[in-house]
Amino acid sequence: MKLSSMLMTGVALMAVSFSPCANAFKVGLLMPTQNEDRWYKEGFMLEKKLKKEGFETELFYGGDVDIELQKKQILRAANDGCNVLIIGSIDGSAISDPLNDAKKKGIAIISYDRLITGTDAVNYYATFDNEMVGHIQGKYLVDKLQLDSSYEPRNIELFYGSLNDNNAKFFWKGALEELQPYIDSGVVNIKSGVITPEAAQTPDWSDTEANKRMTKLIEENGYGPNGTKLDGVLCPADCIAKGVIFALKKAGYNSSNMPIITGQDATAEGLEQIKAGELAMTILKSPNALSDTVVNMVKSISKHEEVEINDTSTYNNGAKIVDSYLCMPELVDKTNIDKVLNM
């Protein structure tokens, strides 16, 4: 969702809203951007739920994924007396300095869906089982392309997320654990030869970058309805799938001959593409489940109670293993899309 430049500036530099309650337990919410529907909605969802529990809030959006702006917002929230910061980071490796300052003030830090790395200032991580997301996507390709019984090689291309997002490596790990045996045996052919995160990356999860890369893959490998058959594309998110599908449609593909394409986030556009037969599947990561988890964390912190976690070993951020709570993802395709659309 786009805001006017004037409103964007106001949202970026100042808190969206706050309660006038004096001496209340105060929570700073820092979302990476207001220009993506998911982050825009989840910021306000979290704020509403926290206020309902009696917390004072300050909500910030990071403009057009502006990391320098987000650093300033973290300092602003810390200096405004916040007791907890909930941060959906733009670049989890680039905000250690302002977080270290927040730690000195005794502020608790919750990393929201994207792991903050390189600092021990992070107290908790709330996310989904991101490796499981990759397993679901990879297994979907295995099943739909019938790789277990195939004697004819299947042509697949792989897309990685943004290198500066720690989640991307977990999606990739899960997906490749499903696909690697078939790549090694020759049942899966990566015609482009691109099988490393660095070569398959999609900077900033940009649909434009995904479109550019898919267009290049089509041109270099001769993919097309009347050319080399492309059987599947591993896309770790709907935004990447959007760019891939655009390039494929431009090359003449349609719902009758589209490769099996994976996605994640169950975006409105992604769900429409599933209905249209263009995107094969997506992953629903319920914002209600994630926001409820975070609100419960804040409630426990405010009462000096033990915070509920269910993972103490997976997420090493380079400075510490971060205590985490993992929500479960859900596969969505044509078989259950109506249920999701009616939620």
Calculate mean pLDDT across residues 206-220.
97
Mean pLDDT, the chain, rounded, equals 91
Calculate mean pLDDT across residues 133-142.
98
Specify the pLDDT at position 309: 97
Question: What distances in angstroms separate CA 268 from CA 3, 165, 273, one per listed residue?
Answer: 19, 23, 9
**Calpha distance 202→226 (Å, rounded):** 27
- At 146, the amino acid letter reads Q
Identify the three-state secondary structure at position 284.
strand
> What residues contact 319, with CB distance under 8 A and at least 6 apart?
117, 118, 119, 120
Residue 89: pLDDT over 60: yes
Evaluate if pTM is beyond 0.85.
Answer: no
Half-sphere exposure of 260 (CA within 13 A, CB side): 18
The closest of 342, 224, 340 to 285, measured between CA atoms, is: 340
Specify the pLDDT at position 36: 83
What is the length of the chain? 343
Specify the pLDDT at position 343: 65
Specify the pLDDT at position 4: 34
- Give me the sheet containing 84-87, strands edge to edge: 56-61, 26-31, 84-87, 108-112, 124-128, 323-327
The closest of 53, 61, 49, 47 to 18, measured between CA atoms, is: 47
Calculate mean pLDDT across residues 88-103.
94
Higher pLDDT, 169 or 37: 169
Beta strands in 32-187 (DSSP E): 56-61, 84-87, 108-112, 124-128, 154-158
Measured CA angle at 286 (ends 99, 209), to 5 deg:
70
Calculate mean pLDDT across residues 212-233.
98
Any idea which residue has 């220009």 for tokens?
35
17 φ, ψ (degrees, to nearest 5)? -160, 160
Domains of the chain by range and CATH?
5-122 (3.40.50.2300), 130-284 (3.40.50.2300)
pLDDT tens readout for residues 227-261: 999 999 999 999 999 999 999 999 999 999 999 99
Q: Using alpha carbons only, how large is the chain's radius of gyration in Å?
A: 21
Any idea which residue has 């999609």 for tokens?
202
